[in-house]
């Protein structure tokens, strides 16, 4: 795990000078709340948490234990920090992108699959930042000549229903927004896109590496690694209130040419040259 490796590089060795307790809730909000309560009971020196689903119940239970997060697109709007520059409480961390980046996903998808004129966005309505991402996609659509439809998915069955409903529809494409549901079911999503021959754009490089058509966004492992530096500083006495929320400085374009070929798409040379990673 990149986070553990980051800690090791800073001198924190699990089982030696630091004890790590793990909880994994997946996309289940009930489990997330139960695990949050368990962690608070342990009275740890710091908590490292992923996504709004993971941080929200922790915030309800403690305003004193330091929390370092990753994978939260709108920490201010979600009420976790007062501002990116001065978080002001017991929470700080790393945000993966601004909402406008979701509009870039539509641009990239249109460049790879220029025939599309309808895009369905798979998102999760229970996570407030997803609405901001969806609005960014909708804002980019008119100039690209694309109609946008959006459907919320809360589990694997709903994801399957959404994608199967698109089967056979001409000139249709899909944008998958990042949340615990889509990330936890990425194998299913990628397999269904291939089965029904749907071009899709994804938010992180690993989607394309695992068979998705195209991805644009940060490599999450980088932020997990970097988050270890904030945990290190907290353990050495720094206050989250004084540690600015970090924003990414590099975004990666990843194209899977094998998937493009299977879909009958010719990826333009200029786009391949612009890509940070091309998978043959």
Any idea what the Cα angle at residue 188 is, between residues 32 and 253, rounded to 5°? 90
For the cut 90, the answer to whether the pLDDT of residue 1 exceeds it is no
Architecture category of domain 100-217+251-279 in CATH? 3-Layer(aba) Sandwich (3.40)
What is d(CA 277, CA 272) in angstroms, rounded to the nearest whole number?
Answer: 8
Average model confidence (pLDDT) across the chain: 94
Question: Would you place residue 27 in the very low, low, confident or very high pLDDT band (cuts 50, 70, 90)?
Answer: confident
Read off the pLDDT of residues 76-95 as tens digits, 9 standing for 90 and up.
989 999 999 999 999 999 99
* Residue 247: pLDDT band with limits 50, 70, 90: very high
Helix (H, G, I), strand (E, B) or coil at 21: coil
The beta strands (E) that lie in the chain are given as: 47-50, 67-70, 91-94, 118-123, 147-152, 172-176, 200-202, 214-217, 252-256, 277-279
The predicted-structure confidence for 9-23, as pLDDT tens digits, reads as follows 999 999 999 999 999
What is residue 26's predicted lDDT score, i.e. its pLDDT?
Answer: 82
In this prediction, residues 244-270 reach a mean pLDDT of 95
pLDDT band with cut points at 50, 70 and 90 for residue 176? very high
Start and end residues for every CATH 3.40.50.2300 domain found in the chain: 2-96+219-242, 100-217+251-279
CATH H-level superfamily of 2-96+219-242: Response regulator (3.40.50.2300)
**Residue 174: its pLDDT value, please?**
98
Encoded tokens for 228: 């270890």
Query: For residues 205-219, b (16+ Cβ closer than 10 Å) or e, as one string?
Result: bbbbebbbbbbbbbb
Average pLDDT score over residue span 146-155: 95
pLDDT at 107 over 90: yes
Q: Which residue has the tokens 């695990």?
A: 35
Is residue 95 within 8 A of residue 246, CB to CB? The reply is yes
* Antiparallel, parallel or unpaired: β 214-217 and 252-256: antiparallel
Residue 24: how many other CB atoms lie within 10 Å: 11
What percentage of the chain exceeds 70 in pLDDT?
100
List strand residue ranges (DSSP E) for 81-238, in order: 91-94, 118-123, 147-152, 172-176, 200-202, 214-217
Residues 6+ apart with CB under 8 A from 17: 11
**Which pLDDT score, from 0 to 100, does residue 170 have?**
87
Q: What pTM value is reported for the model? A: 0.86
Asked if residue 128 has pLDDT above 90, the reply is no
Nearest of 71, 105, 126 to residue 175 by alpha carbon: 105
> What is the DSSP secondary structure assignment for residue 27, as one 8-state letter?
T
Mean pLDDT of 171-197: 95
Distance separating alpha carbons of residues 103 and 9, to the nearest angstrom: 36
Q: What is the spatial distance between Cα 110 and Cα 18, in angstroms, rounded to a whole number?
A: 48
Of 26, 28, 25, 19, the residue nearest 47 (C-alpha): 19
Task: Render pLDDT for 185-229 as a digit per residue (tens, 0 to 9).
Answer: 999 999 999 999 999 999 999 999 999 999 999 999 999 999 999
**Average of pLDDT values for 34-63?**
95
């Amino acid at each position: 795990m990149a986070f553990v490796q980051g800690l090791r590089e800073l001198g924190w060795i699990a089982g030696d000078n630091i004890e790590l307790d793990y909880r994994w809730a997946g996309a289940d909000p009930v489990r997330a709340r139960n695990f949050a309560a368990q962690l608070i009971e342990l009275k740890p020196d710091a908590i490292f948490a992923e996504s709004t689903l993971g941080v929200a119940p922790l915030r309800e239970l403690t305003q004193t234990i330091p929390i370092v997060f990753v994978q939260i697109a709108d920490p201010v709007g979600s009420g976790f920090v007062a501002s990116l520059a001065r978080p002001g409480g017991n929470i700080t961390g790393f945000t993966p992108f601004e909402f406008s980046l979701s509009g870039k996903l539509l641009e990239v998808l249109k460049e790879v699959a220029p025939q599309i004129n309808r895009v369905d966005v798979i998102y999760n309505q229970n996570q407030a930042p997803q609405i901001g991402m969806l609005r960014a996609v909708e804002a980019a659509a008119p100039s690209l000549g694309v109609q946008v439809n959006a459907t919320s998915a809360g589990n694997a069955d709903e994801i399957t229903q959404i994608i199967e409903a698109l089967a056979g529809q001409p000139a249709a494409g899909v944008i998958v927004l990042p949340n615990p549901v889509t990330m936890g079911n990425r194998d299913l999503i990628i397999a269904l896109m291939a089965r029904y021959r749907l071009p899709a754009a994804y938010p992180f490089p690993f989607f394309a590496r695992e068979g998705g058509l195209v991805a644009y966004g940060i490599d999450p492992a980088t932020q997990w690694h970097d988050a270890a530096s904030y945990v290190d500083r907290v353990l050495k006495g720094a206050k989250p209130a004084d540690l600015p929320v970090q924003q990414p400085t590099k975004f990666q374009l990843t194209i899977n040419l094998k998937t493009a070929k299977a879909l009958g798409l010719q990826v333009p040379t200029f786009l391949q040259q612009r890509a940070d990673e091309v998978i043959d």
